[in-house]
Amino acid sequence: MTDSYSQPSREWWAQRWIDVLESFGWIRRLARARTYAREGNVLSLEFEGAKVTAAVQGTAPEPYHVSLSLDPFSDEQWSYVVESMAERAIFSAKLLAGEMPQNIEDVFTANGLSLFPFNKFDIHSRCSCPDPANPCKHIGAVYYLLGDRFSEDPFVLFQLRGRTKEQIIADLRQIRGAGDAISAERNSNGTAAPSDETVPVSQTPRPTPLNCDRFWEYQEQLEPSLIVITPPPTSETILDVLGSIPLKADAAETQAVMEYFKAVYQAASMKAVQTAMSTES
């Protein structure tokens, strides 16, 4: 039976959300959560600013209460992101039309941010059920329902990071409107843009001769803020590229081995990112 939460018909950003969650090693734990989501056990799903609250029916008579949130971006971080969006016309056009650009993650990555959860510690969730595991099946069901909500309204994903649809659209229109006004004023005054001004030949700096022997050397200390570490864009590993390993076993055993290797690759990838981000020497 095809899992309704991994169908190609899902919007890419909704499927990306599911792929990221499952890459945290929660695949087995979330199996029951998918059933809960499909069977309608999530009775309500509401937003309180950047926080999500839900009521999920479990085995107890009364539904359990679930809360979930991501680390929000600061106002300064959002200003950089929106400016980057406004600089690319296709981003602005799609977002103003209510669509999510295919490579929207690049805007956040360029500003040292990750739109989707960077790791499991980036998600803060609680459930009133007695299960000590996190995520429990009730929290997991909310994860999957959020994916459906993202498909309906991609701006919900931004809301979890601290900006509503109305705020982002207003900021985009303000920035692009200001740019259009400046261009119109320059055209009306007959003033060329600074980039079009001609630099006198006498002021043109002379190029420094290239030293091939020292081309790959750099003696200065790198600026830490220029180094951006981000998770891979998908949960795909080299195993997905190469395909199934031709083992002398039946299909079920081969699948089990492939799942094991995939979990190993994902764990190694996450460990590499965490090691790279460590400030310890």
pLDDT digits (tens, 9 = 90+) for 9-31: 667 888 888 888 888 878 777 88
Section 127-149 average pLDDT? 91
Counted residue by residue, the chain has a size of 281
Collapsed DSSP state (helix, strand, coil) of residue 234: coil
Torsion of the alpha carbons at 26, 27, 28 and 31, rounded to the nearest 10: 110
Give the CA radius of gyration of the chain: 24
Domain range list for the chain: 12-174, 239-281
**Cβ distance 82 to 179 under 8 Å?**
no
pLDDT in tens, 32-45: 888 888 899 999 99
Q: What is the pLDDT of residue 281?
A: 42
pTM: 0.59
Q: What is the mean pLDDT of residues 59-88?
A: 92
Q: Of 9, 134, 119, 130, which is closest to residue 71 (Cα–Cα)?
A: 119
pLDDT confidence band for 235 (50 / 70 / 90): low
Work out the average pLDDT over 158-170: 90
Beta bridge partners, 55, equal 44, 65
What are the E-state strand segments in 50-195?
A: 51-56, 64-70, 123-127
Do β-strands 64-70 and 51-56 pair in parallel, antiparallel, or remain unpaired? antiparallel
Number of H helices, E strands in the chain: 10, 4
Q: Read off the pLDDT of each residue in 207-227 and give the average, rounded to a whole number.
A: 63
What is the average pLDDT across 49-53?
Answer: 90
